[in-house]
Amino acid sequence: MTTEISDDALRAEVRAWLKANYRPEELRGATLWSSTPETRAWLTKVLEAGWATPRWPAEWWGRSLPEHQARIVEREFAAVKAPGAGQDRGNLYANTAMAYGNDALKAHFVRGILTGEINMCLLYSEPGAGSDLAGIRTRAELKGDNYIVNGQKVWTSGAMTADYGMLIARTDWDAPKHGGISFFFLPMKQPGVEVRPLRQVTDESHFNEVFITDAVCPVDNRLGAEGAGWRVLQTALAYERSVMGDGARGPRNASAKVSLIDLARDAGKLNDPVLRQDLARVIAYRRLNDLNNARAKADLKEGTSSPIMSLGKLAMSRILHEEARLRTSMLGAASLLEGKDFPVSDDANFLSLNAYFTSIGGGTDQIQRNIIGERVLGLPKEPEVDRDVPFREVRAG
């Protein structure tokens, strides 16, 4: 039974809880792709207080708050830069499990995902199936109580540290390509899974290729019915695009967190009318994108996907490229410098290169334009000559 609370009382409760519990200095060891024991302890506190999943019911660590009150919780956490709140809106792994997992799977995985005890990755793209994910050829064959998985995945973020991967694999080669796919939580820490890092243009190795040879995945780790994985994937992709549409990685040099306006002022170019117009356009894009994402997430329900998310993801890609262009233009020749002795220039380079991550990850800009054209604007679909053909008969290059 849920006890109603006023907005002001809720705001006061969250602020008091944060004041009593949040110690930002304890979380400085957290990284983008893994977490420290201190981070996991903090996320556990947030979960047990009901702030991690405020929209969910109490049996799933929530408070059954309506959307506008859940946003109050998130804003109070954001105001003090405390992580962990609102994961019922942004944690794609937990939300996908909640939407399609049975109670046993949810009980086994969701808490650990929310607290960082269980690290996850995405096993979607393949060397021959990137833009067309329905063309995957990784296979999962049922043998007793397990599936035996063989295949290759690529561009997998965080695979080196992941405990489980959200895997799409083909379980029926006689069904059309969208109908023969199933969705799993594949255990990553087993002999049949080999992870090889890929060097990125930013000189990082967050992406990996994953080779899967006779890996074992329990039947209980399947989400949704066998052959119904494409629907599960659409929900997972919607949450992923939602996260990417919200924002992207910022500067990697703590000393270089300079806004575009501050950078223009430091460069003596703030009075340039053309530059001011470009700055205003980027700021307007960000604000419009925030509003669009809020609208899309309000419509997103468990077990569904929203093509509106593609608008936010595509918009964020454009924003990042525009901001990178402006940084480079304002720095001029200094934008060619790099290294810790030139943090502002180094980050201009980094942000310019990293913008392509958002252009490609989670579905390319071109894929998002197709989705927007077909599902938002109602334009005719592109012809798919192999859509209703048994997958074993589909030609492959």
> Left if phi > 0, otherwise alpha if psi is -120 to 50, otherwise beta: which for 77?
alpha
How far apart CA 373 and CA 370 sit, in angstroms, is 5
The reported pLDDT for the residue numbered 168 is: 98
Helix (H, G, I), strand (E, B) or coil at 189: coil
Tell me the H-state helices in the chain: 7-21, 37-49, 67-79, 87-90, 92-100, 103-115, 229-246, 260-266, 273-299, 308-331, 343-360, 365-371
Asked whether the beta carbons of 156 and 210 are under 8 A apart, the reply is yes
240: annotated active-site residue: yes
| pLDDT for 247 | 55
Q: Which amino acid is at 5?
A: I
Q: Domain residue spans in the chain?
A: 7-90, 120-226, 232-376
Q: Catalytic: which of 76, 126, 209, 240? A: 240
- β-sheet bridge partners, residue 126: 129
One pLDDT digit (tens) per residue for the chain, 397 residues: 456 899 999 999 999 999 999 998 888 755 545 578 889 999 999 999 999 999 999 999 999 999 899 999 999 999 998 999 999 988 999 999 999 999 999 999 999 999 999 999 999 999 988 778 899 999 999 999 999 999 999 988 889 999 999 999 999 999 999 999 999 999 999 999 999 998 766 666 678 999 999 999 999 999 999 999 999 998 888 777 666 655 555 556 554 557 888 888 888 888 899 999 999 999 898 888 888 777 766 665 544 556 777 788 888 888 889 998 998 988 888 888 888 888 888 888 888 888 887 787 777 888 888 888 988 889 998 888 888 899 998 877 5
In sequence order, which residues have a C-beta less than 8 Å from that of residue 200 and are 6 or more positions away?
A: 206, 207
| Separation CA 353–CA 309 (nearest Å) | 23
Return the SS3 of 211: strand
- Gap between the Cα atoms of 301 and 235, Å rounded: 9
Looking at domain 120-226, what is its CATH homologous superfamily? Butyryl-CoA Dehydrogenase, subunit A, domain 2 (2.40.110.10)
d(CA 16, CA 10): 10
**177: helix, strand or coil:** coil
- DSSP label of 194: E
120: three-class secondary structure by DSSP: strand
Are 140 and 171 contacting, i.e. CB atoms less than 8 angstroms apart? yes
From CA 25, how far away is CA 28, in angstroms rounded? 6
What is the CATH number that goes with domain 232-376?
Answer: 1.20.140.10
Hey, what amino acid is at 177?
A: K
Q: What is the DSSP letter of 323?
A: H
Distance CA 148, CA 30 (A): 35
Output the pLDDT for position 32.
45
